[in-house]
Chains A and B, each alone.
Chain A
Amino acid sequence: MGVSCVYMYPVPEGRSGAHVVEVLQKQVETIGGVKMGSFVVDCESYLSIMLSVSKTLQILHNTEYPASCFAVLDSGATLVADTLFNGLLSHLKAYYQARKGSKIESKGNRYQLADFVIKIGSVTLSGSFKGILVEVEYCPSVIASECWNLMKELLQSLIGNIAESPPPSLKMKMDEIYTPAMTMLQYLEHFNNFRKAAAVSQPPR
């Protein structure tokens, strides 16, 4: 477990997402990355139906932590639970119901480079491609402020100036001991952005 930074990598106009992913993968392999399996981070939204003001509960999973389930409230309060929590949720149907078509996931190859883990994921929202997320984890360190400059060097060699500053959701917690939930919050932030963009480009009929 170490510090992770997740960035959205834009797909230029007229290029296919698959092609850009391929270029990124080649780049990682060129700097010495070795493919070590694949990964999936998924997220589903649940809406409260009992309350007058509807509140959202986000349920996330990460193959890096296969025994855990992450539940995030609008406030950012995060619960890290066993995967048994999934079963519990089905019993809470009277209070929380899954929002249709909210299932979003980032899926791709996982690379090992010395003590770094690099993940290049294609994001799909209810089946259609939405963009690319690049995650770089530096495993030996647990304090983001300590290893940020070091990570920046690797990130910039990979995705350029996109990684000029730490991810916004991490900025407040740079001196804290890093936890997997912080990675999930970064993913959630990106997922929400993708959802918003999808809602704008395809207004509900």
Chain B
Amino acid sequence: MNKDTTQAELIFQSIHLIQKLRHDVGQVFKDLSDGISEYIEEPAEKDENDGGSNKDVSKDKAATQDQKDTTGPSHEKSEEHHEKHRAILKTLKKSLETISHDFSDLEKTGANIGPVQMFSNIDNLSLDPVDKNTVTHSQLLQSYKWTNKMHELSDQAVTILGQNTLKRTQSPKFTNVKKLKGNTLSAWVAPQQTVDQCLSVLNQDHPGSNFTWSRPLGGCAALQIEIGKTLKAVVVLRGLTIEWVKIKGFDETFKTDDGQIDIWSSSRYQVFQKLTHHAEAASLHYYAPTKPDLAIKSFVMWLHGFSNLFSVPCQKCGKYLQNNMPPTWRDYRNRKPFHDVCRM
């Protein structure tokens, strides 16, 4: 801040000095033209008739002519001329001295001014008169400020996230690379047989549910779970890691009109939209890269807790409805039902 103000002062001083310098130089030229013309007015006219091309030469000529002319008629006049000449030279010298003084002053101040930080070409843009009427420059400045702010905030976010141990992102910046070398990667690149086997076992463990899975794009399995006659869920697996969850009603479908699997569209019912949010949170809660089979097993078990979605009251308030919604939350440990607002 302080540095900025002194910089500004210096720049202001320099401008002032430049103005003074220009004024001084201007004065010198004015003196020069005034001073000589005063004495050689008449001969100059003669010179013009001669058609003198060079002014300096003509001045010299004029001076010599002057001297020739003045020698005869009066000696007093030539004395006066000499005195005036001297006076002119004196002021000229003085002016030149001031100029050289001011110039060295300017040089000194200029040396103190630090280099002005150029952001980029947008500063030149601001000087472009064509763009004066457009808002491009101010908008660019604004977005520059925003990006700066974003950088700052993301730096803070990295610091905070760095302290968190629950990470899914595979980046050396977030995760310890040495740790990743272990079982973690196998959770993502589990062979299809392993996945199939794991899902078959899950299907047997949950008799009330129906598991079907397909691989529409080859690698990732899109698992569909029907829980009783209550809900349908689609779970996209990368290896054995849960990547995506959607929950819909029993009378809704995960198929598009042309028979493709549709993992994107949401349920038209509020209760299943809410359940989808909770299931997404649960898929993160049960994330265990070193034991992927256990993670998906726990998740499916938790999801299975919704088989009684419409038929059990909330454990806390004892009611079936709260905000016209059934208990849409199941505890992670004991799968007890709670309303969204009754969670502890």
Cβ < 8 Å to B, chain A residues 1-35? 1-2, 31-32
A86-120: CB near B (< 8 Å → 1, else 0) gives 00000000000000000000000000011110000
By a CB distance below 8 angstroms, the chain A residues around B272 are: 140
- Is the CB of B311 closer than 8 A to any CB of chain A? yes
**Does A154 sit at the interface, judged by CB under 8 A?**
yes
Partner of A150, one of B229, B267, B321, B323: B321
A146, B270: Cβ atoms closer than 8 Å = no
Q: Closest approach, in angstroms, between the C-beta of B144 and any C-beta of chain A?
A: 46
B342 at the interface (CB under 8 A from A): no
User: Once bound together, how far apart are the Cα atoms of A113 and B310, in whole Å?
Assistant: 16
| B319 CB–A CB distance under 8 Å | yes
What residues of chain A lie closer than 8 Å to B313, measured between beta carbons? 149
A147 at the interface (CB under 8 A from B): yes
Dominant secondary structure at the B interface: loop
| B58 CB to nearest A CB, Å | 100
Q: Quick one: CB contact mask for A150-161 with B, threshold 8 Å, 1 for yes?
A: 101110000000
Interface-centre pick from B270, B271, B310, B311 (highest chain A CB count, 10 A): B310
- Tell me if B230 and A146 are in contact (CB < 8 A): yes
A124 on interface, CB distance cutoff 8 Å: no
A152 to B310: give the CA distance in the assembly, Å. Answer: 12
| In contact, A154 and B249 (Cβ under 8 angstroms) | no
- B29 contacts partner chain A, Cβ-Cβ < 8 Å: no
Q: Name the residue of chain B whose CB is nearest to the CB of A138.
A: B310
Task: From the candidates B250, B309, B324, name the one contacting A114 in the complex (CB within 8 A).
Answer: B324
Q: Which chain B residues in 274-313 approach chain A with CB under 8 Å?
A: 308-311, 313
**Docked pose: A140 CA to B326 CA in angstroms:** 11
8 Å CB contact of B320 from A31, A115, A150 = A150
Question: Which residues of the partner chain B approach A138 to less than 8 Å between Cβ atoms?
Answer: 310
Question: Is B324 a contact of A149 with CB atoms below 8 Å?
Answer: no
Cα distance, A81 to B324, chains bound together (Å): 34
Q: Is the CB of A153 within 8 A of B230?
A: no
For the complex, is B325 an interface residue (Cβ under 8 Å from A)?
yes
A125-164 residues with Cβ-Cβ distance < 8 A to B are 138-143, 145-147, 149-150, 152-154
Distance of A127 from chain B, by nearest CB (Å): 36
Q: Name the residue of chain B whose CB is nearest to the CB of A147.
A: B310
> Shortest distance in angstroms between B275's beta carbon and chain A's nearest beta carbon?
10
Q: Which residue of B lies closest to A148 (CB)?
A: B311
In the complex, are the beta carbons of A116 and B230 less than 8 A apart?
no
When A146-B310, A149-B313 are in contact, do A141 and B323 touch as well, CB less than 8 Å? no
Q: Which residue of B lies closest to A141 (CB)?
A: B310
**Minimal Cβ-Cβ distance residue in A for B322:** A153
What is the CA–CA distance of A2 and B271 in the complex, to the nearest angstrom?
A: 13
- Distance in angstroms from B135 CB to nearest chain A CB is 43
Beyond A31-B324, A115-B324, A150-B321, list 6 extra A-B contacts (CB 8 Å).
Answer: A139-B249, A143-B230, A146-B311, A147-B311, A150-B311, A150-B326
20 A-B residue pairings within 8 Å (CB atoms) = A31-B324, A113-B324, A114-B271, A115-B325, A138-B310, A141-B230, A141-B249, A141-B250, A142-B249, A142-B251, A143-B229, A146-B229, A146-B230, A146-B309, A149-B313, A150-B310, A150-B311, A150-B326, A153-B321, A177-B229
Which 7 A-B residue pairings sit nearest by Cβ, starting from the closest?
A114-B324, A147-B310, A150-B320, A140-B269, A146-B310, A146-B311, A140-B249
